[in-house]
Amino acid sequence: MATNTVGIDKEVEVNRKENLRDHRLYWIGRRTQDVILSSLALVVLSPVMLATAIAIVVDDPSAGPVFSQERIGRNGKPFKFYKFRSMCPNAEAKLDDLLDQNEMDGPVFKIKDDPRITRVGKFIRKTSLDELPQLWNILKGDMSIVGVRDIIGTTKEKPQFSAAFAM
């Protein structure tokens, strides 16, 4: 018994093209949303960001108010990630001495009452003000307002993190 699969093949091809178009429109819409919302947030929150930066420098003038780190974004592309500095400037160097106190599994390091966190740092972490410079990352297109959490560059080579960032 012969069957006609030509019609099915054409239908699959049409559906594939429609999905591609929808996919492109989705990403264009998402990017437009990110640009508009991050721009508005940066303008509205700029006084708060300025006050936060001043408080960080007054509390610990030994380094600048913004911390940057290489992170891995969409499709494994590295980018410079920004946050307000909530720790002492040499926090990475002190990490080795504190590793035995880690309360988390995997690549995340967290301890209660971390001695590397500054006084202002405790407040800006509790209120999430330390996250505000990420609006710049969103405006640049490195991150999205809603999406998979980026990973620190040193965890890039671990296979368990690869699948999540191929989106």
In a domain, 12, yes or no: yes
Answer yes or no: is 105 within a domain: yes
Is residue 131 in some structural domain? yes
Whether the per-residue pLDDT at 150 is higher than 90: the answer is no
Residue 162 has pLDDT above 90, yes or no: no
Containing 135, the helix (H) or strand (E) segment is: helix 134-140
In a domain, 151, yes or no: yes
- What would the pLDDT profile of 38-69 be if each residue is shown by its tens digit? 999 999 999 999 999 999 999 999 899 999 99
Q: Does residue 134 belong to any structural domain of this protein?
A: yes
pLDDT-derived band of residue 112, with 50, 70 and 90 as boundaries?
A: confident
**Is 162 inside a domain boundary?**
yes
- Residues of the chain with pLDDT > 70, as a percent, come to 68
Does residue 59 form part of some domain?
yes
Calculate helix-pair angle for 119-126, 6-59, nearest 10 degrees.
150
Total domains, the chain:
1
Considering only CA atoms, give the Rg of the chain. Answer: 22
| The pair of three-digit structure tokens given for residue 45, joined into one six-digit string | 């929150």
Q: In whole angstroms, what is the distance from residue 11 CA to residue 16 CA?
A: 9
User: Ranked by mean pLDDT, which of 16-20, 94-98, 136-140 comes out on top?
Assistant: 136-140
Whole-number pLDDT of residue 91: 77
Domain assignment present for 153: yes
> What is the span of the domain harbouring residue 82?
6-166
Q: How far is CA 59 from the centre of its chain?
A: 26
